[in-house]
Amino acid sequence: MAKVSKGNTLTAPVLQAGYSIENDGYGLLTCKATYKADNAKAASAIKRGDVFKPDGRLKCHKVSVAFGPLDVATITADYCGIEAGDWTEPNVSGSATLSTEPLTSHPNFFKAAGRGIAGPAPYTSTASPDGTNKPAFLGINGAIFGNDGVAPNKPLFLGFFGTSTDQEKKLYKRTSYLSPVSSFNGVLYTTKAGNVVSLRKYVGVAFSGRAPEGYRFLLPAYLGDNFTAKDETPQLLLSNVSFEDYGMLYKISYEIRFNREGYMTEIYTINT
């Protein structure tokens, strides 16, 4: 029996009722829509990059076609976009933990007695802890410095060797301490590839605001706007940036490290 076709031809895809648009709460929009079209036209009816006609913020990034009976195909199209502008809001998580660091890096290491650990120069002469006649100098809490004849105001820390007091016993041969380490991890989506390129250039750069100067905010407002240590050095460092295509958008993932003592201007590039 010959096939009899009735109704309108489906040379152009016909959007079916029931599509939905989801907002992830940070401005990323996603949508899945279903169309009907003639089998002969379905494969090329909707393409990557096509705008979703009911909502121009969305563009197609993935299409599947199921060829059905009676020459009618079902097209399923996935769309994504951004609620407003070129960026989503940053979706940020954070962690605070402890990391083992050399005791000589402690901010109180060269301070005087009280909260000091090894004390400041100049140091007094003392016997070398290895029993040799090499020059050695005594700090506080049993700290010993040596410098093979160099002036005692340029010491080389050898270790803690005192056992006379409870404090010295606690520090005896101790070489490390647990230092607090904090980091923030964020995700952003953008419509512009140039935004990806720009952020990559800031890896290894320290800054004291919610983002490097001239770039959009990477941290939410509730974390504050000023990240500056007591000596006015910046406390934030962009340590990692990764990116990937996400449909017609660009997904940027990044890590920011926080150092309460600040990042030294002599070592790190500072964003001003």
Token look-up 């994504």 returns 80
pLDDT in the model for residue 3:
52
Query: How much of the chain, in percent, has pLDDT values that exceed 70?
Result: 93
CA distance 250 to 165: 60
What mean pLDDT do residues 30-42 have?
A: 93
CA distance 251 to 245: 6
Query: Nearest-CA neighbor of 194 among 87, 272, 88?
Result: 87
Query: Nearest-CA neighbor of 72 among 43, 33, 34, 36?
Result: 36
Q: pLDDT class for 131, splitting at 50, 70, 90?
A: confident
Task: Establish how many alpha carbons lie within 13 A of residue 256's alpha carbon, considering only the half-sphere containing its beta carbon.
Answer: 28
Average pLDDT, the chain: 90
Token look-up 């790190």 returns 268
Written as six digits, the tokens of 195 are 């935004």
The predicted model scores a pTM of 0.80
CA distance 189 to 86: 8
Region label for 42, one of left (φ > 0), alpha (ψ between -120 and 50) or beta (otherwise): alpha
Question: Strands 176-190 and 156-160: what pairing?
Answer: unpaired
pLDDT in the model for residue 150:
57
Q: What is the pLDDT of residues 230-251, one digit of tens each?
A: 899 999 999 999 999 998 999 9
- Residues in CB range of 85: below 8 A, 6 or more apart: none
Question: Strands 205-207 and 176-190: what pairing?
Answer: unpaired
CA distance 67 to 13: 13
